[in-house]
Amino acid sequence: MRLTRNLAVALAVVLLAATGVRAQDLTLSVAVSLKDVTEELGRTFTAAHPGVTLRYNFGASGDLQKQIEAGAPIDVFLSAAQRQMDELEKQGLIVVASRRAFARTLLTVIKPSDSKVDIARATDLLEARVGRVAIGNPKTVPAGQYAEESLRALGLWARLHPKLVFAENVRQVLDYVARGEVEAGFVYTTDAATRAQGVKETFRPSEDSYRPVVYPGAVVAASRQSALGKAFLDLLGGPQGRAVLGRFGFQPPPTGAR
């Protein structure tokens, strides 16, 4: 599994480098849970910056971090957790002055919208009626990391582990649940809202069982488009960005978060 993931990261770096980045291209590596927000704001950004082309690279934050560490030509990184940004900062791979927290969301547990299985609390996941539970792979997916953190805090991680199905990102968890391939899955509330027709929330883990889910963004140190990258972060953190984030269910970040 690790070899396969490393090969996937290496391939992504090669493909990004082979795209032939032009003078007015801005490449954004974005946590997939921000896909809808970023694409909408991207249209606003390009309308205000004629001649600029945005290139999107969506994926799990951990995989995107590894691509940046491997030298992929990325200009801006939008992470679904502070951990990945912290590690890049320690390595000097982001412009620290550009870093900012811009959103927060919450963890939730979902099930297929037509499911008759009653799931009202975390301990219900241990019942025989729940055969499989999907979470993002905690090694690379922040939502999976928060799910593991919550389950460990509740004393359920080891007992639930045999039922877990690990996904490459939160959107894959959504797909597993919507198709009825698992009985439940851990995602963010903002992800659940994007698939209202296929899934429904069952319960939200206690917020004191995991760290706040904070989204930070920063310009990558090796970027040749740092001014454009900062401009995009300004849009994201400004009134228009906050309005779009709010429409997709994101909350403002906690005071002092970065």
Taking only the tens place, the pLDDT of each residue in 123-143 is 999 999 999 999 999 999 999
Q: What is the pLDDT of residue 236?
A: 97
Domains in the chain (CATH in brackets) are: 2-104+214-247 (3.40.190.10), 107-203 (3.40.190.10)
On the question of pLDDT at 14 being above 70, the answer is: no
Taking only the tens place, the pLDDT of each residue in 60-119 is 999 999 999 999 999 999 999 999 999 999 999 999 999 999 999 999 999 999 999 999
- CA distances to 9, 103, 192, 257 from 130, in Å: 33, 32, 19, 37
Q: What is the pLDDT of residue 194?
A: 81
Taking only the tens place, the pLDDT of each residue in 20-46 is 445 589 999 999 999 999 999 999 999
Please answer whether residues 42 and 25 qualify as being in contact, where contact means their C-beta atoms are separated by less than 8 angstroms. no
Confidence of residue 3 (pLDDT cuts 50, 70, 90): very low
| Average model confidence (pLDDT) across the chain | 92
d(CA 253, CA 216): 9
Beta strand segments in 175-226, E: 184-188, 199-203, 213-219
